[in-house]
Amino acid sequence: MRKPLKIAESARRATLLCAIILSVFGYAQAQSTPSGNVQPVATPSPTPKIKPSLEHEFFANILRDQRAIWTSPFHMGREDMKWFVPLTLATGTLLTTDIRTGRALDDNNRTRLRISRDISWGGSFYSTGGIAAGFYLVGRATHNSRARETGLLGMEALIDSSIVVEVLKAATQRPRPRFDNGSGEFFVSGKSFPSGHAISAWSLATVIAHEYGRHRPAVQIAAYGLATAVAISRYTGRNHFLGDVLVGSALGYGIGRYVYFKHHDTSLDADGGNSRTGAHSKLIPLIAPQFSRAERTYAIALRWDF
């Protein structure tokens, strides 16, 4: 009788987890879908206000994101059901079969484990954080507003994801497949559920795909393809069960989508997102040739702003 009880208990947990995941999806969807019932009303033009920069609002936005994420189960509506049913079935199935699928792979195939480890490194916070920082620094250096925003929103999504995943890991206490004989039981001891690498890879990939992939399907395929490779490598590398990977990926996608639609500057879409915010980068010297007809001399002027 013990095994059926475990399966039923896992299914109940799967339903609860899917409710959290799908509510994030629904909340993100609400940010991107304007209401059709709102009628325009003629009002006096308000005094224009300077919108705070993303840098200035960075930590405040993270706090607002966390409040929205953790209260999202209370905002679920009928539209969320189209996501709730399939994801509940998929997650419930994976959680109840995790023991069998987890033991299908052993630790003897060193080549598979090495390749999986190398691929999964791309989903570490150091790698994803470095990519986000790279976008931001390049955007600041070249005054490319979209690259700057991609870096900021990418880092914001990564921090949001890290907070969520650490809370869930501490709450669920699931051992990894290599420990406890691969039992996969919850509330024992461990940090397997959900996959942190999967949630990081998918949250950053989602921001990049939305920033640069609107009219470039290749960008979306590349971003989501790499995130999928990282997620699968966590299973083939015996670091996570399939259920851990699915939930981590779903949460990462939902959080990345929410952050983008909540904080994206829509004015970037008007000019293709390559707007420049200044005449010259402070990180690159300005070099200009100089010529004097009177003195018949040539020179080079060098200016470096700090």
Q: Tell me whether residue 46 is in a domain.
A: no
Q: Tell me whether residue 44 is in a domain.
A: no
Q: Give the model confidence (pLDDT) of 200-245 as tens digits.
A: 999 999 999 999 988 899 999 999 999 999 999 999 999 999 999 9
| pLDDT above 90 coverage of the chain, percent | 47
Distance CA 121, CA 276 (A): 34
Q: What's the domain count of the chain?
A: 1
Q: Tell me whether residue 45 is in a domain.
A: no
Written as six digits, the tokens of 283 are 């990180």
Distance CA 278, CA 285 (A): 14
Q: Tell me whether residue 226 is in a domain.
A: yes
Nearby residues of 178 by Cβ (< 8 Å), 6 or more positions away: 107, 238
Q: Tell me whether residue 41 is in a domain.
A: no
Q: Give the model confidence (pLDDT) of 11-38 as tens digits.
A: 455 445 555 554 554 445 444 444 444 4
Domain extent, residue 117, equals 2-33+52-303
DSSP 8-state assignment for residue 177: T
Counting Cα atoms < 13 Å in the Cβ hemisphere of 285 gives 7
Please say whether the beta carbons of 161 and 21 come within 8 A. no
Q: Tell me whether residue 262 is in a domain.
A: yes
